[in-house]
Amino acid sequence: MTIDNQKRSKISAGLKSLSSHLHEMNRSGISSVKLTDDAAEKLNSLKKSINSQFNIECPDPSTKDKAALIKNIKSKVSRSKEIKELGTLREKLVFSSGTPEAKIIFIGEAPGREEEEQGKPFVGPSGQLLTKIINAMGLNREDVYISNIVKYRPKVEGGNQGSSNRKPSNIEVQKSLPFILEEINVIKPLLVVTLGGTAMEGLLNINGTLSASRGKLYEKLGTKVIVTYHPSFLLRSKSPNRDKRRLWEDMMLAMNVLGMKITEKQKNYFK
Ligand code: URA
């Protein structure tokens, strides 16, 4: 079905007016628009339908485009008034690491002391364990994309930060959430893995315990999601063997989703 010129110019005028409205909002400091899952899906199918009507081919952005888009998200976070106005997060932005071409994204909660010092997510003790987990899957950190829901280290009360880290608050998660959603939308991985309760609740709006929620496939923005323990939980666990095996079972589920072969040796890890 083709559309006539009159409809074509109406759609074009509508899109121009939407675009100028969004630019205006952006100029006035609003860097993101919160959409419900339902609205995001409707918008996506509207985009597909318009593209097919106009015979526009919409290939996935190239690596270069994706890297530029990720850089743009980073810059938006650094300019976000909403985040600064909270006044509860520290100054240094810790964004993401890894490749925008990744088939898998790992999402944690917020940077801690080492991450803030190095400006990279997951480089402290939890990060070292995460690296081991990634390696056990047969991957390297450079093959994956690693990010956090909250991009600044949360301040502790009284301002005496020292080496203390704190779990981000609900409002900090909500203000930061649009950016990780944008990262997922740019990268379009085959799978997202949330690490720990904060990332699980923030991304999927699940309130159950992690133990009850793991082992299943969820979906966000059309992307499959699994939830697993935060590496720091394993470092503190009173039943480390049991919990390592559980996390490893989650990683085998991830490998299945990614279409990776699991060797006999890998099947028996932490048994
Ligand atoms: N914990 C997280 O959730 N993220 C990090 O980057 C480091 C520790």
Ligand 1 surroundings by CB, under 6 angstroms: 108-112, 115, 121-122, 124, 126-127, 148
Higher pLDDT, 18 or 56: 18
Domains in the chain with CATH codes: 5-53 (no CATH), 63-267 (3.40.470.10)
Q: Is the pLDDT of residue 147 over 60?
A: yes
Which residues partner with 108 through β-bridges? Answer: 148
State the pLDDT at residue 231: 98
State the pLDDT at residue 60: 66
State the pLDDT at residue 40: 64
CA–CA separation, 98 and 231 (whole Å): 18
Which three-class secondary structure state does DSSP give residue 33? coil
CA–CA separation, 161 and 45 (whole Å): 47
The string of pLDDT tens digits covering residues 197-232 is: 999 999 999 989 999 999 999 999 999 999 999 999
Nearest partner of 18 among 38, 33, 5, 6, judged by Cα: 33
Nearest-atom index, ligand 1, CA of 115:
6
Q: Return the ∠ at Cα 102 (arms to 42 and 35), rounded to 5°.
A: 25
The string of pLDDT tens digits covering residues 44-77 is: 667 666 666 665 555 567 778 999 999 999 999 9
Expressed in angstroms and rounded, the spacing between residue 171 Cα and the centre of ligand 1 is: 18
Mean pLDDT for all residues in the chain: 90
Nearest-atom index, ligand 1, CA of 198:
3
The string of pLDDT tens digits covering residues 128-143 is: 999 999 999 999 999 9
Pocket test for ligand 1, best of 89, 126, 165 (most atoms within 8 A of CB): 126
The model carries a pTM of 0.79
